[in-house]
Amino acid sequence: MKGVTRRQFLRSSSLGLGLGLAGGLAGCAASMKGDFAPKSGRRVVVIGGGWGGATAARYVRMADPSIEVYLIEPNKEFVSCPFSNLVLSGLRTIESLTQPYDGLRRRGVKFIHESVTAIEPDAKRVRVGEGYLAYDRLVVSPGIDFQWEQIEGLPAVKDTVLHAWKAGPQTVELARQIQAMPDGGNFVLTVPPVAYRCPPGPYERICQVAWYLKTNKPKSKVIVLDANQNIALFRAAWQAYPNIDYRASNKVTGIDTSTREVRTDFDKVKYDVLNLIPPQRAGAIAVQADLVGADKRWCEVDHVTYESAKQKGIHVVGDATIGLPVPKSGNVANNMGKAAALSIVSLLNGQTVPIMPPGNTCYSWVSDREAIAVVNAYKIENGKVVQIEQKLTPAQSASVAQRAEGWRQSIWADMLS
């Protein structure tokens, strides 16, 4: 690896390496024809500017500034899913969770604010508009997409029935609907079958909406239809919210917006505001490129390099992966991005790939000022990620919430500065 030692790499700060401001391509995809950016040296292309992709782009540039990095991401700003449940309770604004990509540009990352239409592994290039971009190594961090067809009636209304599981406009709209709901109304939240993005996320959302309704609409109720078995982690926190009606093993099978009802195998449930979180799979580009495994949902990867089990030279990080005993969390995606980046730099420089097991901390806000946390530690054993331990906070507290705020600031700097 050139430009920085491994120790410096792993102990990096947000001060940067003085790479200067790099330009980017942010024009219309229609103007991109043929090889619109011919390669003059080694190049890594990253698809997706979320927790995993942004981190990978940053760390490749930091580890070896001689490697050109393109980050292809339709959105011009990063919006954090962690902490977005607090927008629903009015404790945060979506603007407070929105960060620019300026730090990555200063590191020399080049941006294309468009969508990739195809990956061509044999030619080692990605399609954007009518043109293509060549790569030596590709990082795919597409996040999740939804399996609309698994719920009867949902495909026809998927643009109006809110999931708010990708932070942004739907988060703001769902918050508005909750605020406009009459006192005495029913807020219905559905939890999809595992695996899905952010395992504790729906249960944190239950707490935040229940807290808001208890404070502002005390006659209202939160009805939870959970496709999974009973969740124990949040039970203590829920004791503060008698307005929660939690129903385990109640998988949603259909929706009728004309009658404002959702159906399960057992019942029909009326709603005033509906938050339907559909079943999930890897982002569309991963499915289109046949990076998903036999389940047709998630991508199998090498546990050390995150190289795809199906396509050499392509590394998949973040929520789109499966086969590792790790949750689909922002913290895990951030760690995967680092490990993939260091692996890629080592491979391009003909060096031994270092072993970097992931770690994970998930903070969940259970009121306006208290949070709980789950911490997972892992190791690499015989080429596989193995969990060493899992720790839970003894109880919800304001001090855990304060730590969550510090974590947010530090991990955003680790991704985007």
Residue in 279, 283, 86 with CA at minimum distance from that of residue 201: 86
Q: Write down the pLDDT at residue 29.
A: 58
How many helices, marked H, and strands, marked E, lie in the chain?
Answer: 11, 25
Q: Write down the pLDDT at residue 30.
A: 56
State mean pLDDT over 241-268: 97
Residue in 361, 363, 358, 344 with CA at minimum distance from that of residue 402: 363
Question: Distance of CA 378 to CAs 7, 279, 315, 321, 389, Å?
Answer: 20, 27, 20, 16, 7
Query: For the domain bounded by 148-278, which CATH number is listed?
Result: 3.50.50.60
Most confident residue range from 6-10, 28-32, 277-281: 277-281
More confident residue, 354 or 27: 354
The reply to whether 6-145+282-356 and 148-278 are identical in fold is: yes
pLDDT at 1 exceeding the cut of 70: no
Q: Is 78 in contact with 55 (CB distance < 8 Å)?
A: no
> Residue ranges of the domains in the chain?
6-145+282-356, 148-278
Determine if residue 129 is left, alpha or beta; phi over 0 gives left, psi from -120 to 50 gives alpha, anything else beta.
left
Using DSSP, state whether 413 is helix, strand or coil. Answer: helix
Query: For the domain bounded by 6-145+282-356, which CATH number is listed?
Result: 3.50.50.60
State mean pLDDT over 411-417: 97
pLDDT cut 70: percent of the chain above it = 93
Average pLDDT of the chain, as a whole number:
93
State mean pLDDT over 2-26: 39
Q: Write down the pLDDT at residue 233.
A: 87
Rounded Cα–Cα distance for residues 249 and 7 (Å): 47
Least-confidence region, from 55-59, 111-115, 264-268, 349-353: 264-268
Rounded Cα–Cα distance for residues 150 and 307 (Å): 30
Q: Write down the pLDDT at residue 231.
A: 83
Residue spans of beta strands (DSSP E) within 283-412: 299-300, 314-316, 321-322, 359-365, 371-381, 384-392
pLDDT cut 90: percent of the chain above it = 90
394: confidence class by pLDDT, cuts 50, 70, 90: confident
Give me the residue label for tokens 């449940």.
85
pLDDT at 214 exceeding the cut of 60: yes
Rounded Cα–Cα distance for residues 223 and 207 (Å): 12
134 backbone dihedrals φ, ψ, rounded to 5°: -85, 155
Q: How, if at all, do strands 186-191 and 359-365 pair?
A: unpaired
| Tokens (6 digits) for 373 | 């946390």
Q: Is 14 in contact with 410 (CB distance < 8 Å)?
A: no
pLDDT at 28 exceeding the cut of 70: no
